[in-house]
Structure 1
Amino acid sequence: MVERRWIPTFVGMTDLNLSESYLAYVYILASGRNGTLYIGVTSDLVRRVYQHKAKLVEGFTSRYNIDNLVWFEQSDSIESAIAREKQLKEWKRAWKIELIEKANPYWNTCMPASCKQ
């Protein structure tokens, strides 16, 4: 059964279907097209992106104004999401850019329904 949750709209994000089988997300934020990248993992993608956009997260992302969700991937467990995050962090920058541009060629703010996975 799919749990449906409505989140107030911010930066173009609206409804997000959350299935019990998808418990975690790996995501990439960017400061802009071909800008500084940040890779993270979360169990609540909308909340986490909001925290970055509102600068509630001190550190790298707020310091370098990295708050544009450009790519994400759902995972069936937090362990597999963390493993994927570690894998992506080891990738060359060019590979990360290729991954982003396959799903989001113009680096638009990614909405769950608009990004290919």
Structure 2
Amino acid sequence: MDWYVYILRCEDGSLYTGIASDVEKRFAMHKSGHGAKYTRSHPPVAVVYREQCSGKGAALRREAAIKKLPRAKKLELTEENCDA
């Protein structure tokens, strides 16, 4: 099963990074208030980045790496992957 790392842009301009096997379904969960605690107080407006990984472990490692990046680098990722 393929897993994805994704970045959401929230209403306040902040970015949220997570993983899912179905990004659209997970985004809908975030929007409905049933996603991560962070997105309950920072409602997401769009998926701005997604990256396919070979499995859940690979997605978790990539998520951790992205979360360590400075905001400017995360924004670069979203610009390179603007068709998310």
- TM-score of the two chains, using structure 1 as the length reference: 0.65
For structure 1, the residue ranges without an aligned partner over 5 or more in a row are 1-19, 105-113
Superposition misfits of 4+ residues, deviation over 3 angstroms = none
In percent, how many aligned pairs have the same letter? 33
Aligned counterpart, 2:55 = 77
Q: CA RMSD in A?
A: 1.7
Do the aligned residues in 2 keep the contact of 1:49 with 1:67 (CA within 8 Å)? no
- Return the offset for 1:64: 1.2
SS of the aligned residue for 1:57 comes to: coil
Number of residues of Structure 1 aligned to a counterpart in Structure 2:
84
- Structure with the largest fraction of helix: 2
Q: Distance in 2 between matches of 1:78 and 1:99?
A: 20
The structural deviation recorded for 1:90 is: 0.4
> Residue 54 of structure 1 aligns to which amino acid in structure 2?
S
TM-score by length of 2: 0.88
Larger relative CO (CA 8 A, sep 6+): 1 or 2?
2
Mark the runs of 5 or more structure 2 residues left unpaired by the alignment. none
Describe the superposition over 1:33-87 as per-residue Cα deviations: whole angstroms up to 9, x where unpaired: x810100011221211110112222511120112421110111111101000000
